Amino acid sequence: MENSPWSQTIFETREQVVDFLDIMLRHKFFHRAKKVVVTEEELNKLRGLKKKGKDCCKEERKCLEKEKDCIEIEGKDKDDDNNREKETKKKPKVRLEMHMEQYFSDCNDAYVWIYEPIPVYYWFFGTLVVLGAIGVCLFPLWPLTIRHGVYYLSVAAAGFFLFILALAVLRIIVFCAIWVLTFGRHHLWLLPNLAEDVSFFASFWPLYQYDYYGPGYETKSKKKKRKKDKDSDGEDTCITHRHDQ
């Protein structure tokens, strides 16, 4: 065991370790942080955002996760000379923030390790992309039947793409023609969800959408709005009645 290479170390003094860690900090392996005491207002805010769940937006979720990861509870042991018992005293919750002065010192400062491992599926899909690119470059060496199949698939994909473009142009032409002939009173859209950010099958449903903006449109819209308000008020009263029970 004396001749084992694992029994040897490259550091002989504590100062050498400090210098090496300072070099690692300058190369962004970790950074120096400062402890900021979290107030009760911030804690209540974090708890309120946590209760919202799905209602809070993605940015609030990211901020909540970052602050939640940074908050830590530290305990310290206090010796009792009379009873010789150890009692744990909780320190106030703190949040770690990046320090303005970045250097390593041999003290009790807080340091945050910066480690972002590359997921395994990144390597998997990256390998597939490389192999796919090599396979495309070797297309002339493929068997004749496979090349014919790829050719027919490419023709079918191009035809489907042209079909979608033709539908998009046709729906605009139909809309403009009806709008001009009726002086803007009738709006007819064929496949209204074709250009919307929806799923593939939802893009082709419904088949059409018709709206009327002629005389009497405002009164109808007001009636629909009143009816909708009444329905919503009825639902609210039912809910409150159930809660009262």
Is pLDDT above 80 for 84? no
Query: Between 115 and 234, whose confidence is greater?
Result: 115
Q: How confident is the model at residue 12 (pLDDT cuts 50, 70, 90)?
A: confident
Q: How confident is the model at residue 18 (pLDDT cuts 50, 70, 90)?
A: confident
The CB-side HSE value for 214 (13 A sphere, CA atoms) comes to: 8
Identify the CA nearest to 70 among candidates 118, 110, 28, 26: 110
- Predicted local distance difference test score (pLDDT) of residue 113: 86
State mean pLDDT over 39-53.
70
Query: Between 149 and 40, whose confidence is greater?
Result: 149
Query: Between 93 and 177, whose confidence is greater?
Result: 177
- Predicted local distance difference test score (pLDDT) of residue 245: 41
- Predicted local distance difference test score (pLDDT) of residue 155: 95
- Predicted local distance difference test score (pLDDT) of residue 54: 46
- CA 159 to CA 70: how far, in whole Å? 54
- Predicted local distance difference test score (pLDDT) of residue 237: 44
pLDDT tens digit sequence for 113-124 = 887 788 899 999
State mean pLDDT over 22-51.
79
Share of the chain above pLDDT 90, in %: 21
State mean pLDDT over 7-22.
82
- Predicted local distance difference test score (pLDDT) of residue 124: 95
pLDDT tens digit sequence for 200-210 = 888 888 888 98
- Predicted local distance difference test score (pLDDT) of residue 176: 93
Three-state DSSP at 76 gives strand
Task: Write out the two tokens for 208.
Answer: 């059409």
- CA 142 to CA 61: how far, in whole Å? 49
- Predicted local distance difference test score (pLDDT) of residue 228: 60
Whether residue 92 has a cis bond before it, omega within 30° of 0: no
Is pLDDT above 70 for 136? yes
Query: Between 71 and 13, whose confidence is greater?
Result: 13
> Torsions phi, psi of 117, nearest 5?
-70, 150
- Predicted local distance difference test score (pLDDT) of residue 93: 77
33 forms bridges with which residues in the sheet? 98, 110
Q: How confident is the model at residue 14 (pLDDT cuts 50, 70, 90)?
A: confident
